[in-house]
Amino acid sequence: MQISKLLASRSLKRRIGNLLMHGLILTFLLYLLFPLIWMISTSFKTTAEIYSGIPSLIPKVFTGEHYLTVFQEERLLKSIANSLYVGIITAIIVVMISLPAAYALSRYKTAVNKVVMGWILTSQIFPAILIMIPLFLVLRSLHLTDTLSGLVLVYVVWDIPFVLWMLQGYVKEIPIELEEAAAIDGASQTQIIYKIIMPLLLPAIGAAVLFAFISAWNEFFFALVLLKSPDLSTLPVELARYTGIEGQSRTGPLAAASFIATIPSIVLFAILRKWFSSGALQGAVKG
Amino acid sequence: MVPVLLISFIPLVRGIYIGFTDYELGGQISFSGLENYRIMLQDRFFWRSMGVGFLWTTVVTALQISLGLILALLLNQGLRWTSLYSVLMLVPWAMPPIVRGLMWRQIYSPDTGALNLILTQMGLIDAPINWLTSFEWAIPAIIVAGVWGEIPKAALFFLAGLKTIPGSLYEAAELDGASAFRQFRHITLPMMKPIMAAVVSLSFMWNFNAFGLIWILTQGGPGGLTRLPMLAAYEEAFRYGYVGYAAAIGNVMVIIISLFLFFYLRVQLKERTS
């Protein structure tokens, strides 16, 4: 009697329900996190343990040998340097072009702006191949295929729409009254932009720089098409090549290099998460 | 403003035009009308890649939407540790695409992969399976990896959408004695429709245009079984030099995606007005 009463009680039912839901979420997380955990674990295992045929999540002996191997392989190091170079230059150019454009886009509402915003959304439909082919031909006539500058050019073209969209959202949030007030106080247009708008936009510029950098750092398709000399490979292309020559000793270093390649994304992600939770996304999807 | 528009617009127009030429790498660009599309009709490999492209896109999109929605609903229950869960679930999304591919290659690897090791230990299989080169398993294997990478994005969008539904709706329903399932059917689903439409549309486009993950996992193999449309276009242009034909494949992809969006959004909008 007592027990059945207890079972019927709402709070127990709810507790079981909650437990079930926690269990389900943890199942999801197991699926979503397992590959990363396995990769990190592999990167610290000795080669003997990797090939031992016994699955283990925590290495029996922790070793840094694979990271050491990565830093001794000249081509991998070179590819990291190339990726850094391409990412930084791309980020600078993209933001320098997009910033004034984003300002114009959100402050002066003309018919052009509607077209541009529509274009940014529709451009998602087109597969990368349709952009790559004409750019490849242009770069070839300029003798820029198989150069890092050529790759930067492609990334600039590819990244501008999204960065523009991202920045104009931020500019919109700065009340125009602020500019009007400054104008009444006698500030010139350039003063308004450099003294008022820029400082307010700094976090947004930071986010845009980081986004452009990461998207170049992560990009694979364009780099695969454009870069032929091993010296010029970016990290993703080098990693892909590395898998092609799989052998006994490769699994560990590959896991270590993959983990290194992930670090910038994790940094971006930590920063962007703040951006998401600040409600920018909620606002964007509400409409 | 206009130059910025042109920088991304002009190459694309030129790309579409090349799809109507017989251009081969190093040759002359000359207009050939619909010749590429006539060849395509008889190209067995083209049809196969469109077929697998469709299978991949529909299955991955359907799975990521349903799993993403379930996860978002779970994370919207106000359970303890929800904010920690929401951060952890985003992990696959934070990985560079190339690393996603490498991680799954590691898991599927015949001699050192986690999947084979675990299944062997559990006694479920006798000999290791080479998942990515097997005709039976290659497609399921890329789908599991593909869905894995897309769940976070879907869940994130849905979670944002769920937060915009006013709590008063549920309170009213609760007072009327509506069950949790009925609340879901008659409040959550209808309110989520606009976001659902956006996520389905975007996912369909992104999945249909997938390249990097599959390239790392199978390079289109075994025997062209997992050669998605983008892989086919890439190979035609940059391996065999048939650039005009590759652009034509790109054009067909655009048409397929546009048709899907057109019909899908029309159905969605119709339901909303009725």
Structure-model confidence comparison of residues A105 and B218, the more confident one: B218
Distance of CA A55 to the CA centre of its chain: 31
Taking CB atoms and an 8 Å limit, are B96 and A251 in contact across chains?
no
The reply to whether A243 and A170 lie within a common domain is: yes
The reply to whether A44 and A85 lie within a common domain is: no
Structure tokens of A223? 């780099």
Closest CA in chain A for residue B1: A101
Structure tokens of A147? 């150069």
How many folded domains does chain A comprise?
Answer: 2
Preferred mutation among A30, A133, A251 to probe B, highest tally of B CBs within 10 A: A133
Q: Looking at residues A230-258, what average pLDDT do you find?
A: 80
- pLDDT of amino acid A137: 87
Pairwise CA distance, residues A94 & A101, whole Å:
11
Taking CB atoms and an 8 Å limit, are B230 and A129 in contact across chains?
yes
Strongest mean pLDDT among A109-113, B46-50, B88-92: B46-50
Pairwise CA distance, residues A209 & A94, whole Å:
8
Question: Closest Cα of chain B to A253: distance in Å?
Answer: 12
Q: Looking at residues B173-186, what average pLDDT do you find?
A: 85
Asked if residue A240 is part of any domain, the answer here is: yes
The set of residues, in sequence order, having a beta carbon less than 8 Å from that of A61 and lying 6+ positions away, is A45, A46, A49
Question: Closest Cα of chain A to B131: distance in Å?
Answer: 16
List chain B residues with CB under 8 Å of A39. Answer: 99, 102-103, 106
Asked if residue A21 is part of any domain, the answer here is: yes
Say whether residue B142 is in contact with chain A using an 8 A CB cutoff.
Answer: no
The reply to whether A6 and A108 lie within a common domain is: no
- One-letter amino acid at A148 equals L
The reply to whether A19 and A71 lie within a common domain is: no
Q: Looking at residues A150-158, what average pLDDT do you find?
A: 90
Task: HSE, CB side, 13 Å, CA atoms: give it for residue B263.
Answer: 6
**pLDDT of A100 above 50:** yes
Cβ atoms of residues A246 and B113 within 8 Å: no
- In this complex, the residue of A28, A258, A286 whose CB is nearest that of residue B99 is A258
Pairwise CA distance, residues A57 & A42, whole Å:
8
Cβ atoms of residues A253 and B131 within 8 Å: no
Cβ atoms of residues B145 and B100 within 8 Å: yes
Burial class from Cβ neighbours inside 10 Å (0-12, 13-18, 19+) for residue A202 reads exposed
Taking CB atoms and an 8 Å limit, are B4 and A116 in contact across chains?
yes
Asked if residue A58 is part of any domain, the answer here is: no
Give the residue from B19, B16, B3, B54 showing the smallest Cα distance to B236: B19
Task: HSE, CB side, 13 Å, CA atoms: give it for residue A203.
Answer: 11
**pLDDT of B162 above 50:** yes
- In this complex, the residue of A55, A98, A116 whose CB is nearest that of residue B121 is A55
The reply to whether A159 and A262 lie within a common domain is: yes
**pLDDT of B269 above 90:** no
The reply to whether A106 and A207 lie within a common domain is: yes
Structure tokens of B126? 């006798």
Number of Cβ within 10 Å of residue B192's Cβ equals 21
Cβ atoms of residues A116 and A165 within 8 Å: no
Cβ atoms of residues B150 and B134 within 8 Å: no
Give the residue from A259, A147, A149, A280 showing the smallest Cα distance to A211: A280
Question: Closest Cα of chain A to B58: distance in Å?
Answer: 16
Percentage of chain B lying above the pLDDT 70 cut: 95
The domain of A149 spans 65-286
**pLDDT of A124 above 80:** no
The reply to whether A35 and A103 lie within a common domain is: no
* pLDDT per residue as tens digits for the range A44-68: 998 888 888 777 888 888 888 889 8
Tell me the torsion sign for CA atoms B208, B211, B213, B217. Answer: positive
The reply to whether A69 and A46 lie within a common domain is: no
Q: Looking at residues A179-200, what average pLDDT do you find?
A: 83
* pLDDT per residue as tens digits for the range B213-250: 999 898 887 888 999 999 999 999 989 989 999 999 99
Asked if residue A57 is part of any domain, the answer here is: no
Say whether residue B139 is in contact with chain A using an 8 A CB cutoff.
Answer: no
Cβ atoms of residues B106 and B114 within 8 Å: yes
Lowest average pLDDT, out of A99-103, A150-154, B241-245, goes to: A99-103
- pLDDT of amino acid B145: 94
Percentage of chain B lying above the pLDDT 90 cut: 28
The reply to whether A117 and A17 lie within a common domain is: no
Q: What is the mean pLDDT of chain B?
A: 87
- pLDDT of amino acid B5: 64
The set of residues, in sequence order, having a beta carbon less than 8 Å from that of A264 and lying 6+ positions away, is A87, A213, A214, A217
**pLDDT of B272 above 70:** no
**pLDDT of B20 above 60:** yes
Buried b (16+ CB within 10 A) or exposed e, B204-218: bbbbbbbbbbbbbbb
Asked if residue A59 is part of any domain, the answer here is: no
**pLDDT band (50, 70, 90) for residue A278:** low
Taking CB atoms and an 8 Å limit, are B230 and A133 in contact across chains?
no
- pLDDT of amino acid A196: 81
List chain A residues with CB under 8 Å of B148. Answer: 31-32, 35
Taking CB atoms and an 8 Å limit, are A269 and B202 in contact across chains?
no
Asked if residue A256 is part of any domain, the answer here is: yes
> Considering only residues 232 to 261 of chain B, which have any Cβ-Cβ distance to chain A shorter than 8 Å?
233-234, 237-238, 243, 246-247, 249-251, 253-254, 257-258, 261
> Considering only residues 17 to 76 of chain A, which have any Cβ-Cβ distance to chain B shorter than 8 Å?
18, 21-22, 24-25, 28-29, 31-36, 38-39, 42, 50-51, 53-55
- pLDDT of amino acid A5: 63
Asked if residue A60 is part of any domain, the answer here is: no
Say whether residue B8 is in contact with chain A using an 8 A CB cutoff.
Answer: yes
Say whether residue A115 is in contact with chain B using an 8 A CB cutoff.
Answer: yes
Taking CB atoms and an 8 Å limit, are B1 and A286 in contact across chains?
no
Taking CB atoms and an 8 Å limit, are B94 and A282 in contact across chains?
no
- pLDDT of amino acid A8: 63
| Domain CATH number, residue A145 | 1.10.3720.10
Q: Looking at residues B106-114, what average pLDDT do you find?
A: 86
- pLDDT of amino acid A284: 39
Question: Closest Cα of chain B to A60: distance in Å?
Answer: 16
Asked if residue A205 is part of any domain, the answer here is: yes
Q: Looking at residues A239-267, what average pLDDT do you find?
A: 78
Give me the helices (H) in A73-147, please: 74-107, 111-122, 128-141
**pLDDT band (50, 70, 90) for residue A181:** confident
Task: HSE, CB side, 13 Å, CA atoms: give it for residue B238.
Answer: 21
Number of Cβ within 10 Å of residue A33's Cβ equals 15
Size of interface A-B (CB pairs under 8 A): 227
* pLDDT per residue as tens digits for the range B28-59: 888 888 888 988 888 889 999 999 999 999 99
Say whether residue B269 is in contact with chain A using an 8 A CB cutoff.
Answer: no
The reply to whether A270 and A224 lie within a common domain is: yes
Taking CB atoms and an 8 Å limit, are A251 and B112 in contact across chains?
yes
The reply to whether A45 and A168 lie within a common domain is: no
Beta bridge partners of B21: B31
Closest CA in chain A for residue B210: A127
Say whether residue B132 is in contact with chain A using an 8 A CB cutoff.
Answer: no
* Interface predicted TM-score (ipTM) of this complex, two decimals: 0.84
The reply to whether A72 and A198 lie within a common domain is: yes
Domains by residue range for chain B, with CATH: 44-234 (1.10.3720.10)
Taking CB atoms and an 8 Å limit, are B12 and A127 in contact across chains?
no
